[in-house]
Amino acid sequence: MRTLRDSGNCLAWRPLSLLLVAVGCWPGTEAGRDRPSDTPSLTPPAIRDSAGITIVENAVPQWTAGSEWRVDALLTSVGAAEGDPAHELYRVMDATRLSDGTVAVGNSSSGEIRFFRQDGTFVRSVGSKGGGPGEFRGANALRALRSVAGDTLITWDIYAQSVSVFAPDGEFVRSFLLDGPSRQHFFAGIFEDRALLMHVFEPTFSGSVENMPEGVIRASIILYHYGVDHSLIGHVEDIVDSDRFQARWGPWGMMLTDAPFGRTTSINVGGSRIYVATGDSDEITVYDQSGQVQMLIRRTLAPTAVTTAMIRRDKARRLEEEQQAHLEESRVAPRVRRMIAELPYPPVLPPYGSTVLDSELNLWVEEFRVAGDGPYDWSVFDSQGIWLGRVTLPEGLEVFEIGPDYILGKTVDDVGVERVEVYELVEK
């Protein structure tokens, strides 16, 4: 019931130097948006039907004063710079919370699932890097870790292109391949009947690097729906990916990074629905499990202009991250600096950032923010598409999962220490 976070969607910006690839190997805001008060004189959303599609037009949030949700106490925190090696986390791609409060962490760099009690005490680890049962095909292969009914754990190995199933205590149960196109699949989510949704990217060019378009581009995505018997049931085409900036790098390679203040595509799966947000407008499309559009969720907000100060801050951040990447100053850094200086910026910020679907099928929509803005707001829409209100989340929290009374995510501090944290969610 969570958003697609795999490589290809909802990517946090990475240094340009770390995204050099050879062709053929590519696999709240500073100014503040004009927004209505969270405690207005209520104007209900306009809901209408158009050719069998429900359209929900939201003008203002519906929570009244005193009914808002809030993030409260820190319940669990795991991760440390030194000490117990089990708490030294690196490249955590996903995590999930079990019904007894145990937190299972997918530590991708070591190919392990690490289990921690609610008080942060380490319990056990399962898995490793390798090709055997319950193992993951190398560092960074473990890209998704989800829990389903009964606390069964489902994982996705992006290199082996396989699904593995683990019991709640971490015991390996089985693994399987999907019976579909022989193209690299990325995990998108699990339906309530345990069918799977995957996605693949359509290439933006073919042949030599000379055919590659440069600048801000949006690739196309195809969604593939697999049944519980692992067979391909159907697909949805022509969904656009997040904005990317790409440029040629020498005669054989290319440079790829997220576009400055680019539109983000995120895909969520929950119940029997697929939620697709592309950032083209303040609209989110809801499909049923067969790929038919069921609902359009819309919100009316004035766009926020991109200012010179925003651009200056964004470029400074990119340069700082390049310096931390330990580039060879004489060979690479000057070229990277020139590219950062010439990056194109849009006139307005996108309408939102990422999206996450919680366990109760409420859709959380991140207000687009410029890095360094501090704590940030998420708008919450209920399962009928009605805008309830906003919740402020801790600064730097990358959300993995939202349950009925908690929010789970990852933070990374100034020296690169990763922590998985669970916060109490108070719903009034």
Residue 423 in this model has a pLDDT that exceeds 90 = yes
Q: Residue 303 falls within a domain, yes or no?
A: yes
**Alpha carbons 24 and 30: distance in angstroms, whole number:** 39
By the 10 Å C-beta count (0-12 exposed, 13-18 middle, 19+ buried), 39 is classed as middle
pLDDT tens track for 195-204: 999 999 988 8
Q: Which two tokens stand for residue 99?
A: 């019904």
Q: What is the pLDDT of residues 111-148, one digit of tens each?
A: 999 999 999 999 999 999 999 999 999 888 999 999 99
Q: Which domain holds residue 342?
A: 16-426
- 94/206 Cα distance (integer angstroms): 32
Say what the alpha-carbon torsion angle 153, 157, 160, 161 is, to the nearest 10 degrees: 90
Q: Is 8 contained in some domain?
A: no
Asked if residue 6 is part of any domain, the answer here is: no
Q: How far apart are CA 113 and CA 127, in angstroms?
A: 6
Find the helix or strand (DSSP H, E) in which 314 lies. helix 308-324
Strand partners, 46: 57
**Number of domains forming the structure of the chain:** 1
Q: CA dist 379 to 11, 363, 404, Å? A: 20, 8, 16
Asked if the structure places residue 206 within a domain, the reply is yes
Looking at the domain assignment, is residue 1 inside a domain? Answer: no
Q: Does 35 map to a domain?
A: yes
Task: Give yes or no for residue 19 having a pLDDT over 70.
Answer: no
Residue 7 lies in a domain: no
Residue 10 lies in a domain: no
User: What CATH number should be reported for the domain holding residue 362?
Assistant: 2.120.10.30
* pLDDT level of residue 21 (50, 70, 90 thresholds): very low
Per mean pLDDT, which range of 14-23, 307-316, 404-413 is the poorest?
A: 14-23
Could you tell me which residue, 229 or 320, shows the higher pLDDT? Answer: 229
Judged against a pLDDT cut of 60, whether residue 36 lies above it is answered with no
Look up residue 1 and give its DSSP letter: -
